Chain A
Amino acid sequence: MTSDYIKQKLTEKFGEQVIGFEESYGMMTFESPKDINLKVLNFLFDSEDLKFRFLTDLCAVHYPDQKGREIAVVYHLHNLEDNVRLRFKVFADINKPDVYTATGLFSSANWMERETYDFYGVNFIGHPNLKRILNVDEMDYFPMRKEFPLEDQSRIDKDDEMFGRGGTLGFGTEKTDHGTLIEADKNNIGGEIV
Chain B
Amino acid sequence: MSEQHIKLPEGSIEKTTTTLNLGPTHPATHGVMQNILELDGERIVSTEQTIGYIHRAFEKIAERRPLYQITPLTDRLNYCSAPLNNMGWHLTCEKLLGVKTPKRVDYLRIIIMELSRISDHLICNSIVGVDSGAYTGFLYVMQYRELIYEIYEEICGSRLTTNIGRIGGFERNFNDIAFQKIEKFLKEYPVVQKEFENLFTRNRIFMERTIGAGPISAERALNYGFTGPNLRAAGVDYDVRTQNPYSSYEDFDFKVPVGTTGDCYDRFLVRNEEIWQSLSLIEQAYKKVQEFKGAEAEIYHADVPEYYLPEKKDVYTKMEALIWHFKIIMGEIDMPAGEVYQSVEGANGEVGFYLVSDGGRTPYRLHFRRPCFIYYQAFEELTKGAMLSDAIIVMSSLNLIAGEMDA
- Which of A's residues lie within 8 Å of B, judged by CB? 24-25, 27, 29, 53-57, 59, 61-62, 74, 76, 80, 83, 85, 87, 106-108, 110-112, 115, 119, 132-136, 143-144, 149-150, 193-194
Contacts and interface: CB of A to CB of B under 8 A. Distances in A.
Interface residues of B, number: 42
B244 A107 contact: no
Interface in B209-228: 220, 222-225
B121 to A, nearest CB: 23
A25 B352 contact: no
Interface string B86-125: 0000000001100000000000000000000000000000
Contacts of B343: 56
A194 B363 CA distance: 11
29 contacts: A25-B338, A25-B341, A53-B222, A56-B225, A56-B350, A56-B352, A56-B369, A59-B354, A61-B364, A61-B365, A62-B365, A76-B341, A80-B243, A106-B223, A107-B223, A107-B224, A107-B378, A110-B377, A111-B376, A112-B374, A132-B52, A134-B51, A134-B52, A144-B60, A150-B60, A150-B61, A150-B63, A193-B64, A194-B362
B55 A108 contact: no
A25 B338 CA distance: 8
A29 B365 CA distance: 17
Interface string B274-315: 000000000000000000000000000000000000000000
Contact of B406 (A24, A87, A134, A193): A134
B238 interface: yes
Nearest to B407: A134
A25 B96 contact: yes
Given A56-B350, A133-B52, A61 B356 contact: yes
Interface string B214-258: 000000101111000000000010100001100000000000000
Contacts of A135: 52, 55
In this complex, which of A55, A87, A134, A193 has the most chain B Cβ atoms within 10 angstroms of its Cβ?
A: A134
Contacts of A111: 373-374, 376-377
B336 to A, nearest CB: 10
Given A76-B352, A107-B378, A87 B339 contact: yes
B24 to A, nearest CB: 13
A29 B341 CA distance: 11
